[in-house]
Chains A and B, each alone.
Chain A
Amino acid sequence: VKSNLTRIQIKSLCRLGDIYIPGDESLPSFTELGCVEHYAKILDYMDNSDLIGIHLLLWAFSIMPNKLLRGLVNMIENSQASKSSGASVLRLLRVALRGLIFTLYYSGYSGQGNNKTAPFEVLGFEVSVYVDDLKS
């Protein structure tokens, strides 16, 4: 299975991303950040079974009206404590969507068109390990 997404699937991922991360005055939305350009950093390493699932999900979400998509995301997000029979599928979707969206957004990567401050700068996340003594 190829890790490339179609334009429709990318658009679908951005729609979902903006529900999870709508942005505000200081932080860009998922789409504004342009982090979606870097999806291959995740998909290139996925097992085939996961990759098939992502392709299908993004295709299915692409034909859903906004209102329905938001409703579904809310249902997914409220599935953690549920003991109903379908809850495990919703929780699986929750992990997949949160995993994909938050990983891209807080990856430190952005797209070429982003004009807002990068999330790491707003968060103040800057870490390093001293290696200067090893260079010689």
Chain B
Amino acid sequence: MYDFIIIGSGVSGGRIAHELTSGGAKCALLEAGREFGAKTFPLGEINYMNQLFWRGGLELNADASLCFLRGKCLGGGSVINQALMNRFTPRVFDEWRQLTGVDYFDEKVFSRLYDQLQDEVEMVEIEARYRNRNADIFTSGLDRLGYAWKPLLRSQHDCKLERGSDCIVCLGGCPRDAKQSSLVTTIKWARQKGLEVFPEFRVSQIIEKKGEVKARGAWKGKPHELSAGKVILACGPLGNVPILRRSGFHKKLPSLGKGFYGHPQFIVFGVFKEEINGFKGAFQSVASDDEKFVRSGFKLENNFTPPISAAFLLPGLGAENLNVMKKYRNMACVEIAVKDETPGEIKANGSGGVKIIKPLTETDSGKKKKAFALINEILREEGALRVLESDQGFCLHLMGGCGIGEDGATSVVSPDFLVHGSKNVYIADSSIFPKAPGINPSFTIMALSLKAGREMLRR
């Protein structure tokens, strides 16, 4: 029997595993996906999309207007994300504190946590000399129109940009372990302290019984069960909610699955006369940092997509799509992330899976339209011959569904990270977020998990 079973191996699961094993706890880490490493990550977009993402990255909401992307491999989202580390602003913490009554949602508390993490995991800004032409177009356009921007802080180390490394490759896992995913940091450290890792373990339900919790499911396709004193759910909203539902928690927790957010993202392409080569080098290095955008409920990031995603996201088919794709080298690209106001809900479908109710409401759609108009202006100012707005939205920042709060009638997780009514089941990942922050969530998931891990040890 273990002291703790951690289900999910991304930013939160890895961090908690590290904290607990550092404190001497006997832990097991369960991950539904396979284990890959620098030398074994599937090469090429077709292979990594189908092997490292749930449903090939094409998990849809009920009205099929948004795709939801989440990692399915040891290291979870931290293997396939872009390693962006943004601190939340005091405004977000103030809003969350008011909404939940949780007093540690305070900028001072989190500043200390962020600082500790930054001391431990390598984080860097891309030097100006390594920004590619796509980034230059973005920053020049923002400067010209009088909007502020900033370099992005990324959790990476020794990417060898000076030797021509193209970071877009690392969307399918980094072949030189430069991306500081949980796979090469917290999970690796925890393994050295005795963490037992179970890849390809799909948990169907958790069963609480007399001071013990069982995680029941299938390991490499065969029924398997593990026991521990405590269980920590760390598979994000679309993983945690179905496990809790299948385990019967929805009968006592009316808020389970509610308050789901995703920062819906959209891409705008600009076609230029000259070559941009947006896929080369450090393909994502800067983002908007303007109060006007924050007030309008969106942010912009310089970004680029590999060919499959580009063709998929570009509007049209036939010659229309093909002719734009032939200008792939001449394309610039800007990404919008909307701070969604209207929460969605994660429900159960008939077969024990999830049904995602997350329409893009007029309020959130209005933010997208405003951002589209602005990017149009930026790209045209910079000389784009054509601007193409993608009509396919996608969500990478999956948050909520197990909201934190004092009251079990309106929230799922208490301020001490225990699921309401349980003494043995914890959650500290993005599913406890009470609202969309409008900021990349990874760094704060890490900080929350650091805090939660210490709280679990203290108890």
The interface of chain A, by Cβ under 8 A from chain B, is 19-24, 26-27, 38, 41-42, 44-47, 49-50, 73, 77, 80-81, 87-89, 91-92, 94-96, 98-99, 102-109, 119-120, 122-125, 127-134
Q: Shortest beta-carbon distance, B32 to chain A, in Å? A: 12
Return the CB mask of B267-294 against A: 1 if under 8 Å, else 0.
0000000010101100000000000000
How far apart sit A132 and B325, CA to CA, in the bound complex (Å)?
32
How distant is the Cα of A20 from the Cα of B239 in the complex, in angstroms? 34
Within 8 Å by CB of A103, from B64, B308, B316, lies B308
B166 touches A128 (CB 8 A): yes
Question: Is the beta-carbon distance between B164 and A128 smaller than 8 angstroms?
Answer: yes
Contact between A88 and B170 (Cβ–Cβ < 8 Å)?
no
Does chain A have a CB within 8 A of B363? no
Q: A26-B326, A77-B317, A131-B176 are in contact. Are A125 and B307 (CB under 8 A)?
A: yes
Q: How far is the CB of A84 from chain B (nearest CB, A)?
A: 11
A127 in contact with B326 given A42-B46, A42-B50, A45-B50 (CB within 8 Å) = no
User: Secondary structure of the A side of the interface?
Assistant: helix
13 further A-B pairs in the complex, CB-CB below 8 A; given A88-B64, A99-B58, A130-B163: A19-B317, A23-B322, A46-B50, A77-B316, A91-B63, A91-B65, A98-B312, A99-B312, A102-B311, A119-B325, A124-B329, A127-B166, A130-B164
Complex A-B: 20 CB contacts under 8 Å: A22-B318, A22-B319, A46-B56, A47-B55, A80-B65, A89-B64, A92-B60, A106-B45, A106-B325, A107-B46, A108-B46, A109-B46, A119-B325, A122-B326, A125-B306, A125-B328, A127-B169, A129-B160, A132-B163, A134-B38
Q: Which residues of A contact B178 (CB under 8 A)?
A: 129
- Knowing A20-B317, A102-B311, A134-B176, the reply to whether A123 touches B326 (Cβ < 8 A) is yes
**What's the Cα separation between A125 and B325 when bound, in Å?**
11
- The reply to whether the CB of B47 lies closer than 8 angstroms to some CB of chain A is yes
Compute how far the CA of A41 lies from the CA of B175 in the bound complex, rounded to whole angstroms. Answer: 21
| Chain A residues whose C-beta falls within 8 Å of the C-beta of B167 in the assembled complex | 129
Contacts of B166 in A (CB 8 A): 127-129
**For residue B174, which residues in chain A have a CB less than 8 angstroms away from its CB?**
129
Note all chain A residues with C-beta closer than 8 A to B277: 124
Q: Known contacts A125-B306, A130-B176, A133-B160; is A107 also within 8 Å of B58 by CB?
A: no
Q: Cβ of B353: which chain A residues have Cβ within 8 Å of it?
A: 49
- Quick check: is B103 within 8 A (CB to CB) of the other chain? no
Taking CB atoms, residues of chain B closer than 8 Å to A21 are 317-318, 321-322
CA distance A108 to B49 in the complex (A): 14
A-side contacts of B168, CB under 8 Å: 127
Q: Which residues of B contact A119 (CB under 8 A)?
A: 307, 325
B392 close to A (CB within 8 Å): yes
The distance in angstroms between the C-alpha atoms of A128 and B60, with both chains bound, is 31
Q: From A42, which residue of chain B is reached at the shortest CB distance?
A: B50
Kindly state the separation between the CA atoms of A133 and B175 in the bound complex, as whole angstroms. 12
Q: Is B67 an interface residue (CB 8 A)?
A: yes
Set B55, B64, B306, B321: member contacting A91, Cβ < 8 A: B64
A21 to B322, CA, bound (A): 7
B455 at interface (Cβ–Cβ under 8 A)? no
Interface string of B379-400 (1 = CB under 8 A from A): 0000000000001100000000
Q: How far is the CA of A119 from the CA of B325 in the complex (A)?
A: 9
Shortest CB distance B295–A (Å): 27
Q: Do A45 and B56 touch (CB < 8 A)?
A: yes
Q: Which of B55, B164, B176, B308 contacts A102 (CB 8 A)?
A: B308
**Of A24, A94, A125, which contacts B322 at CB under 8 A?**
A24
Query: Could you say which residues of chain A place their CB within 8 Å of the CB of B319?
Result: 22, 24
When chains A and B are docked, how far (Å) is the Cα of A94 from the Cα of B315? 12
A120 contact from B163, B275, B307, B321, Cβ within 8 A: B307
Whether A88 contacts B62 by the Cβ 8 Å rule is: yes
Distance in Å from the Cβ of B368 to the closest Cβ of chain A? 12
Given the complex of chains A and B, what is the CA–CA distance between A135 and B165 in angstroms? 16
What B residues does A103 contact at CB under 8 A?
Answer: 45-46, 49-50, 56, 308, 312
Question: A49 touching B351 by the CB < 8 A rule?
Answer: yes
What CA separation (Å) do A22 and B330 show in the bound complex?
22
B56 to chain A, nearest CB (A): 7
Which A residue's beta carbon lies closest to that of B163?
A130
Q: Mark B243-287, 1 if CB is under 8 A from A, else 0.
A: 000000000000000000000000000000001010110000000
Query: Do residues B329 and A123 form an inter-chain contact, with CB atoms below 8 A?
Result: yes
Residue of A whose beta carbon sits closest to that of B280: A127
> Which of A45, A50, A87, A119 is packed against the most chain B CB atoms within 10 Å?
A45
